[in-house]
Chain A
């Protein structure tokens, strides 16, 4: 199973700074999701993007789906300690099914 590559693997920044994390694949996504996993918990869905070039905002989080539907980015403005967690990008198979492929994850730490 091809994993999605996420970068950076680890990121530690000060509260109030901006950051961007990336998700890349060599194959096209039918749809892409971003999840956040807090310590000791399971992942929780943040957003689903379907259309190439799509941009979705969730408060201070901006999600973008690449035009070619092979990559995605998550931008956080004015990071808060509550943003700390493992961010996972997830794609569904090209032919559409219940199976999800998870990225390697970006572990984000926001320092107060």
Chain B
């Protein structure tokens, strides 16, 4: 079974603190993702990574940075936490897409971790 683990289930921090959220996957997946989930807004992509040391901005990268030093680990960093960053943070991983002989691309399932509920006071 694919396992995606996140370092904390619940986290409470103060405004201005630096926050690290860690995600580890054990299936040698190339792709890793960080989302935040807020009521009525669905999941929104913050950053993703296709490979070690590679990162791409998602839809809402402002106020966040990421680090991928090892293939199995993808860290989300809040340099200076603010109250509007209170949210549920979900990490996911997937294998790279596969191009078929017919030029179609098969995208693989994203597997999610259990989430970290972050509260910034």
Contacts and interface: CB of A to CB of B under 8 A. Distances in A.
Interface of A: 1, 3-4, 9, 31, 40-45, 48, 88, 92, 96, 98-100, 102-105
Given A42-B115, A96-B107, 18 more contacts: A4-B42, A40-B115, A42-B4, A42-B113, A43-B90, A43-B112, A45-B109, A88-B42, A92-B107, A98-B50, A98-B94, A98-B97, A100-B45, A102-B42, A102-B43, A103-B42, A104-B41, A105-B42
B114 A1 contact: no
Interface in B88-120: 90, 92, 94, 97, 105, 107, 109-115
Interface in B16-38: 31, 33, 35
Given A1-B59, A41-B114, A42-B92, A99 B48 contact: yes
Interface of B: 4, 9, 31, 33, 35, 40-45, 48, 50, 58-59, 90, 92, 94, 97, 105, 107, 109-115
Contacts, number: 55
A42 B94 CA distance: 14
14 contacts: A3-B41, A40-B9, A42-B112, A43-B90, A43-B112, A45-B110, A88-B42, A98-B33, A98-B94, A100-B45, A100-B110, A102-B35, A102-B43, A104-B42
Nearest to B115: A42
Nearest to B96: A98
- For the complex of A and B, list the 10 residue pairs with the smallest distance between their C-beta atoms, beginning with the closest: A42-B112, A102-B42, A102-B43, A1-B59, A45-B109, A104-B42, A43-B112, A42-B113, A42-B90, A41-B114
